[in-house]
């Protein structure tokens, strides 16, 4: 990648309509959107589009499709827009869509498992694609939101030359440094206001903040919480904050006594003061205290119907006592079956908020008499430790779903066969049944009823304790107009509305 | 000299083998399933089936010695394999990230010499003076201040307050404008060590009889210091500079991360985080080879500069 054309960079001083933005992550080397999560970054850059996408309120909207007809429980006919051309001028047709989906289903793709439910993808005619699923599978259309299913031009080398349909065209890429795009003048929708953009990949959050402050970039994503107050005082900058789909949660090891006791798990949830975590570990701005598994911003959230675990140390102690956890030897610390009741919270640090959050939780548990420590592992090691069942509590950070469909997160975390449910040891026959039924139901209202039941049940059972929904903190120079954050901000940045004044 | 070179070159092989064994098994013994780590995306934990497929495809289910031998047999044929994360050839990945580090290292080394040599000489010649005190405190500060903190200070001063340099980034293929601050950060810490070395060595030499003799011959102080003392005082400094350069070439992960410099230090950090072991092993092998070669080069330089050494060992 030593060869680079930096014409965009050089032009920026003269034309002034090139946006520069700092990103946290970027493609590794390969630019194929079907390669791991590369599609996310190229979707973010406005190069590729999907058949359907989520708007800023998390509603599913057709993008390259005009809509779909569900012919039967297992057959979907997706109608394509007829005014779309690829960046090289060839029109979008059903064959290109079939190609784009089928290559992900190929067993050589590391994420092909996510499409296991599909039996076949075919072109019915030039503008219609038919998807058949093996079983009734209601998340089918929502799955297509993931930029893994970016619609690509067949027969080009996608590793080095992305050819998509988005508002921006690929210009150049320098590994570990930057990705440059220019406006697509033949875009089917509203044309981009910017002439182009350069996305820089900067892993250090302080550096991003300083680059924004110094005017090196117009937009910086992922600002450190500690710097936000200072940046807000800068008249030239605007700081944006938005609740995202990402949340921090604690896995409880239900395979280990006394955590197999529901009272103990509920007691832990009552002992935690979520507002205090947000106020201290997140400096009051990094997140919103959690109620249930989904943020209230998610249309599938049942938070309105859940009774939040308010901070209630007395209640927590009561519940612990009912589970036989009391101060037996009078040393001021709680004991369980004759031994001190000690808890270790294991977590990892590649997400900056994990360690401080775990420390605050530990001190809150100590307040009700539980000796509690924090142990830091690297994320890979932590995952193994959890699979081996060698933990009490583990603090994690996950996205609850980029596709917007609840099945993605629920089937992994609450269905007995789910990889994460195996780590907590959660298994509930009712939940399994509701999830299976919801997958086979196409009426969104009916599905919502099942998912509400699931949310209520896991809220009661506490296999996982939700701490807070993470805020995305981004900063922009006030010259930037039309910049907004999406709940699924990890896949959206360059949109046609974005512009720079002056 | 030739047999010395040959002996040292032969030593390369066992050292490299040892490095490869140690790094391979350190990697293997560290907890966590690389397949799982690699397949964990920004979205969430990976599909268990995908993890199993990956393990089977990459031969992760074999015992460690089998994996090692398989890897080694390829390496011997010059094939370092492919990166698990990006799919690119390891040799390409290592080489393309080494170039930015090399550029940065050369400038850093230059800056460190520019600061340390005059500072060391001046401190030694004016021993006990205010200049000496300043030099000593500066070098103490330079050694003790953590790199990343110095980096932030320099950014705040030059990029934010004075606004004469960019904050960070690689710019137009690593242009000089973007290189100054990271090079200064690295250069200052390297200079601190070299400067002290220069001063000590200079002080030692200045007490030698031949300096007294030179003075007695009526040479100017300038000529005594620069022509007679400096040449001899530089010898131990050559070793130090060699070590410094090796250290710089290994890529400072911290400085490269702060300045978003796409060097080998940040490649290593990234690869370690995602358990991209072909890349980690590739980097380790390359850097060990580089370190050993530079040490050898330093020794050769040393012998060349100091013929006494050859006579003493009689070779």
What is the per-residue pLDDT across B61-116, written as a single tens digit (0 to 9) for each? 888 888 899 889 998 898 888 888 888 899 999 999 999 999 999 999 999 999 99
Question: Does the beta-carbon distance from B50 to A399 stay under 8 Å?
Answer: no
What are the backbone dihedrals phi and psi of residue A173, each rounded to the nearest 5 degrees, phi first? Answer: -140, 130
∠ CA A280-A281-A282 to the nearest 5 degrees?
95
Looking up residue A39, the CATH number of its domain turns out to be: 3.40.190.10
B153 to chain A: closest CA residue: A210
∠ CA B133-B139-B141 to the nearest 5 degrees?
100
Give the pLDDT of residue A489.
Answer: 66
Same domain, A194 and A56: yes
Cα gap A250→A271, rounded to integer Å: 13
pTM over 0.80: yes
Give the pLDDT of residue A370.
Answer: 94
The model's confidence at residue A14, banded by pLDDT at 50, 70 and 90, is: very low
Cβ proximity of A258 and A323 under 8 Å:
yes
Q: Which chain B residues are closer than 8 Å to A350 by Cβ?
A: 273
Same domain, A376 and A487: no
Q: Is the pLDDT of residue B118 over 50?
A: yes
- A35 touching chain B per CB within 8 A: yes
Does residue B305 have a cis bond before it (omega within 30 degrees)? no
Cα gap B262→B271, rounded to integer Å: 13
Question: Does the beta-carbon distance from B167 to A210 stay under 8 Å?
Answer: yes
Q: Is the pLDDT of residue A268 over 70?
A: yes
Distance from CA of A343 to the nearest CA of B (A): 22
Distance from CA of A7 to the nearest CA of B (A): 10
Give the pLDDT of residue B314.
Answer: 46
Answer positive or negative: Cα dihedral of A8, A10, A11, A16. positive
Pairing status of strand A325-326 against strand A287-289:
unpaired
Looking up residue A414, the CATH number of its domain turns out to be: 3.10.105.10
- A1 touching chain B per CB within 8 A: yes
Same domain, A489 and A467: no
Same domain, A197 and A274: no
- List, for residues A376-404, the tens digit of each pLDDT value: 988 878 888 888 899 999 999 988 876 77
- List, for residues A116-127, the tens digit of each pLDDT value: 899 999 999 999
Question: Does the beta-carbon distance from B173 to A4 stay under 8 Å?
Answer: yes
**Residue A198, in any domain of the structure:** yes
- A28 touching chain B per CB within 8 A: yes
Q: Which single residue is written with the structure tokens 């908020």?
A: A353
- Residue scoring higher pLDDT (A119 or A7): A119
Percent of chain A residues past pLDDT 70, beyond the cut: 96
User: Domains in chain B and their CATH numbers?
Assistant: 2-76 (no CATH), 91-314 (1.10.3720.10)
**The domain containing residue A367 runs over which residues?**
244-471
Question: Does the beta-carbon distance from A380 to B37 stay under 8 Å?
Answer: yes
Q: Is the pLDDT of residue A297 over 90?
A: no
Nearest to A112 by CA among A120, A122, A121, A102: A102
Tokens of A299: 């249309």
A381 to chain B: closest CA residue: B32
Q: What is the mean pLDDT of residues B157-169?
A: 92
Q: Which chain B residues are closer than 8 Å to A174 by Cβ?
A: 170, 262
Please give, one letter per residue, the 3-state secondary structure of A274-320: HHHHHHHCCCCCCEEECCCCCCCCCCCCCHHHCCCCCCCHHHHHHHH
The model's confidence at residue A141, banded by pLDDT at 50, 70 and 90, is: very high
Give the pLDDT of residue B52.
Answer: 85
Same domain, A15 and A111: yes
The neighbour count for residue A478, using CB atoms within 10 Å, is 12
Q: Which chain B residues are closer than 8 Å to A172 by Cβ?
A: none
Task: Tell me which of A61-75, A145-159, A274-288, B291-305 is least confident.
Answer: B291-305
Same domain, A371 and A485: no
Distance from CA of A222 to the nearest CA of B (A): 14
Give the pLDDT of residue A405.
Answer: 86
Q: Which chain A residues are closer than 8 Å to B181 by Cβ?
A: none
- What is the count of residue pairs from A and B with beta carbons less than 8 Å apart? 153
Any residues with CB less than 8 A from the CB of B90 and at least 6 apart, and which? B80, B81, B82, B83, B278, B279, B281, B282
Cα gap A268→A259, rounded to integer Å: 10
- Which of B39, B43, B264 to probe by mutation at the A interface, max A CB count within 10 Å? B43
Same domain, A440 and A483: no
Cα gap B133→B296, rounded to integer Å: 35
Nearest to A237 by CA among A212, A201, A272: A212
Q: Which chain A residues are closer than 8 Å to B267 by Cβ?
A: 176
**Residue A215, in any domain of the structure:** no
Give the pLDDT of residue A220.
Answer: 95
The neighbour count for residue A400, using CB atoms within 10 Å, is 26
CA atoms within 13 A on the CB side of A412: 18
Give the pLDDT of residue B231.
Answer: 81
Structural domains of chain A, count: 2
**Residue A221, in any domain of the structure:** no
A113 to chain B: closest CA residue: B50
- Residue scoring higher pLDDT (B270 or A133): A133
- A105 touching chain B per CB within 8 A: no
Tokens of A313: 């140390």
A1 to chain B: closest CA residue: B96
Same domain, A422 and A492: no
Task: Tell me which of A294-308, A311-325, A450-464, A487-501 is least confident.
Answer: A487-501
Cα gap A92→A80, rounded to integer Å: 8
**Residue A212, in any domain of the structure:** no
Q: Is the pLDDT of residue A360 over 90?
A: yes
**Residue A158, in any domain of the structure:** yes
∠ CA A231-A235-A238 to the nearest 5 degrees?
60
- List, for residues B120-135, the tens digit of each pLDDT value: 988 988 888 888 898 8
Mean pLDDT of chain B: 86
Question: Does the beta-carbon distance from B42 to A207 stay under 8 Å?
Answer: no
Same domain, A429 and A484: no
- Residue scoring higher pLDDT (A238 or B232): A238
């Amino acid at each position: 990648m030593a060869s680079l054309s930096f014409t965009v960079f050089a032009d920026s001083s003269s034309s002034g309509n090139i946006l520069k933005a700092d990103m946290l992550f970027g493609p590794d080397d390969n630019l194929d959107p079907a390669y791991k999560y590369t599609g996310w970054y190229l979707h973010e850059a406005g190069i590729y589009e999907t058949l359907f996408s989520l708007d800023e309120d998390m509603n599913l909207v057709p993008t390259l499709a005009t809509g779909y007809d569900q012919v039967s429980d297992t057959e979907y006919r997706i109608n394509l827009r007829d005014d779309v051309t690829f960046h090289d001028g060839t029109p979008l047709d059903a064959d290109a869509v079939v190609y784009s989906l089928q290559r992900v289903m190929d067993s050589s793709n590391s994420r092909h498992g996510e499409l296991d439910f599909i039996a076949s993808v075919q072109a019915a005619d030039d503008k219609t694609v038919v998807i058949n699923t093996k079983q009734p599978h209601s998340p089918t259309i929502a799955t297509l939101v993931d930029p893994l299913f970016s619609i690509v031009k067949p027969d080009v080398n996608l590793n080095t030359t992305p050819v998509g349909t988005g508002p921006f065209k690929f210009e150049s890429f320098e590994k570990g440094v930057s990705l440059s795009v220019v406006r697509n003048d033949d875009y089917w929708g509203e044309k981009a206001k910017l002439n182009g953009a350069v996305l820089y990949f900067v892993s250090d959050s302080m550096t991003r903040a300083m680059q924004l402050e110094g005017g090196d970039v117009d937009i910086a994503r992922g600002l450190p919480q500690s710097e936000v107050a200072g940046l807000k005082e800068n008249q030239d900058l605007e700081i944006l904050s938005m609740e995202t789909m990402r949340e921090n949660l604690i896995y409880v090891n239900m395979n280990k006594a006394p955590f197999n006791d529901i009272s103990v798990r509920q007691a832990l949830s009552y002992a935690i003061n979520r507002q205090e975590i947000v106020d201290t570990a997140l400096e009051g701005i990094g997140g919103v205290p959690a109620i249930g598994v989904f943020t209230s911003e998610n249309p599938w959230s049942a938070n309105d119907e859940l009774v939040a675990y308010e901070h209630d140390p007395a209640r927590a102690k009561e519940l612990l006592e009912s589970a036989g956890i009391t101060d037996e030897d009078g040393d001021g610390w709680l004991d369980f079956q004759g031994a001190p009741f000690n808890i270790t919270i294991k977590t990892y640090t590649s997400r900056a908020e994990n360690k401080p959050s775990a420390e605050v939780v530990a001190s809150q548990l100590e307040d009700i008499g539980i000796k509690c420590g924090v142990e830091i592992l690297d994320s890979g090691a932590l995952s193994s430790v959890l699979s081996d069942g060698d933990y009490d509590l583990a603090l994690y950070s996950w996205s609850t779903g980029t596709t917007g469909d609840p099945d993605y997160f629920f089937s992994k975390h609450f269905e007995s066969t789910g990889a994460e449910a195996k780590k907590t040891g959660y298994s509930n026959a009712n939940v399994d049944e509701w999830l299976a039924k919801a997958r086979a139901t196409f009426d969104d209202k009916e599905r919502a009823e099942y998912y509400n039941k699931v949310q209520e049940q896991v809220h009661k059972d506490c296999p996982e304790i939700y701490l807070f929904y993470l805020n995305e903190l981004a900063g922009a120079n006030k010259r930037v107009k039309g910049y907004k954050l999406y709940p699924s901000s990890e896949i959206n940045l360059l949109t046609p509305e974005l512009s720079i004044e002056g | 000299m030739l047999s010395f070179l040959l002996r040292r070159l032969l030593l390369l092989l066992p050292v490299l083998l040892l490095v490869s064994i140690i790094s391979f098994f350190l990697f293997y013994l560290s907890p966590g399933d690389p397949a799982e780590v690699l397949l964990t995306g920004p979205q969430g934990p990976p599909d268990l089936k995908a993890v199993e497929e990956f393990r089977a495809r990459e031969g992760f289910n074999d015992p460690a010695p089998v994996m090692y031998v398989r890897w080694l047999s390829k390496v011997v044929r010059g094939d370092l394999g492919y990166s698990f994360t990006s799919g690119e050839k390891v040799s390409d990945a290592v080489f393309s990230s080494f170039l930015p580090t090399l550029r940065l290292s050369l400038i850093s080394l230059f800056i460190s010499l520019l600061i340390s040599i005059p500072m060391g000489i001046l401190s030694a010649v004016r021993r006990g003076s205010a200049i000496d005190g300043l030099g000593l405190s500066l070098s103490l500060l330079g050694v003790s201040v953590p790199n990343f903190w110095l980096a932030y200070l320099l950014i705040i001063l030059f990029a934010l307050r004075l606004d004469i340099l960019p904050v960070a980034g690689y710019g137009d293929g690593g242009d000089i404008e973007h290189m100054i601050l990271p090079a200064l950060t690295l250069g200052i810490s390297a200079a601190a060590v070299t400067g002290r070395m220069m001063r000590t060595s200079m002080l030692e030499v200045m007490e030698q009889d031949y300096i007294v003799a030179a003075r007695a011959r009526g040479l100017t102080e300038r000529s005594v210091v620069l022509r007679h003392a400096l040449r001899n005082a530089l010898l131990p400094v050559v070793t130090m500079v060699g070590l410094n350069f090796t250290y710089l070439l290994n890529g400072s992960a911290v400085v490269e991360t702060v300045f978003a410099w796409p060097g080998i230090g940040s490649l290593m950090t990234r690869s370690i985080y995602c358990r991209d072991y072909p890349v980690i092993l590739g980097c380790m092998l390359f850097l060990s080879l580089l370190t050993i070669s530079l040490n050898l080069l330093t020794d050769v330089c040393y012998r060349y500069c100091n013929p006494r050494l050859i006579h003493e060992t009689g070779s």
